Amino acid sequence: MNQQENAALTRIGQIAINAHDVDRATAFYRDVLGLQHLFRAGQLSFFDCGGVRLMLDRAEKPEFDHPSSILYFQVGNIRAAHKRIKDAGAKFEDEPHVIAQMPKYDLWMTFFRDSENNLLALMSEVPRPAATE
Amino acid sequence: MLTICFSEVNHFMSATATNTGMTNPGITNIGQISIITHDTPRATAFYRDVLGLPLLFTAGNMAFFDCGGVRLMLGPASSPELDHPSSILYFRVPDINAAHRHLIEMGVEIVAPPRLIAPMKDYDLWMVGFRDSEGNIMQLMSEVPRSS
């Protein structure tokens, strides 16, 4: 690899998510979202989501004590996922809806809150019948 | 890249099904992450020219980038509630020292120099903290295998 390739940002390895109560947040990401819990290290709790690690943590400094970026979790069937997560106790802001018509698919989304009141979303790319031939 | 992603997803799905049974609602991966901008052209230049990520497309005041299969959506906050810094994103790099030098050459503010964060079982986890053009703290990370 040359110098440029060595310095290249290849992918997202981890995302930090602020939690005010790491036990409560761990239960939410494990039991409501069904993500795989990797390990716990003190006040840090790690999950895997399709190869990206999520790190739940209490803010170290006031500067870091703000909500998470919106993470858009990909699902195959957004209506079924919406129902399962809602039935498991998550608070949704809306119903699944088409947010953008892309050339080959419709992009569906629905927004919800985690146990720490972070705004998150489910997303699903639904191919158009004409594009699947 | 796609092949690797799908095999990871499949592995993850089967592991999750075993661990959590009926509660798994079918989340396969992170498809997108939103990053709030205060100046989208400035942020677009930073993510494209400094971080070197591929710009997928722009739509109005939003810019979409790819980072190893995850889409980054840069755009202004749509409500005051959302106008806060980004989550810390940890970008993987092959060589943390080369990437650190690159950021310095590009004039990026480094908030934490390259340092060993955690000695894991099979590798050492190194990180470098920096700020993007919007003041968000981000990290580079690299898993350096032990030679033994």
- Tens of pLDDT along A13-66? 999 999 999 999 999 999 999 999 999 999 999 999 999 999 999 998 898 899
Residue A32 tokens read as 């409501």
The C-alpha of A129 sits at a distance from chain B's nearest C-alpha, in angstroms, of: 22
What residues have CB less than 8 Å from A133, skipping those under 6 apart? none
We find that the CATH architecture of domain B30-84 is: Roll (3.10)
- Tens of pLDDT along B45-60? 999 999 999 999 999 9
What residues have CB less than 8 Å from B92, skipping those under 6 apart? A9, A10, A11, A12, A13, B68, B140, B141, B142, B143
pTM score of the predicted model: 0.88
Share of chain A above pLDDT 70, in %: 95
Distance CA B87, CA A82 (A): 24
Q: Which residues of chain B have a CB within 8 Å of the CB of A12?
A: 30, 33, 67-68, 70, 89-92
Q: Where are the beta strands (DSSP E) in A1-133?
A: 11-18, 36-41, 44-49, 52-57, 71-75, 91-92, 97-101, 105-113, 119-127
Q: Which domain holds residue A81?
A: 3-132
Give me the number of domains chain A comprises.
1
Tell which residue, B132, B85, B90, B127, has the closest CA to residue B108. B132
pLDDT of residue A2: 66
CB proximity B91 to A under 8 Å: yes
CB proximity B62 to A under 8 Å: no
Q: Do B30 and A36 touch (CB under 8 A)?
A: no
Q: Do B90 and A16 touch (CB under 8 A)?
A: yes
Q: How many CA atoms lie within 13 A of A79 on its CB side?
A: 3
**Closest residue to B94, CB basis, from A8, A16, A50:** A8
List every span in chain B annotated with CATH 3.10.180.10.
30-84, 85-148
**Closest residue to B87, CB basis, from A17, A63, A123:** A17
The CATH homologous superfamily of the domain defined by B85-148: 2,3-Dihydroxybiphenyl 1,2-Dioxygenase, domain 1 (3.10.180.10)
* CATH number of A60's domain: 3.10.180.10
Distance CA B28, CA A73 (A): 7
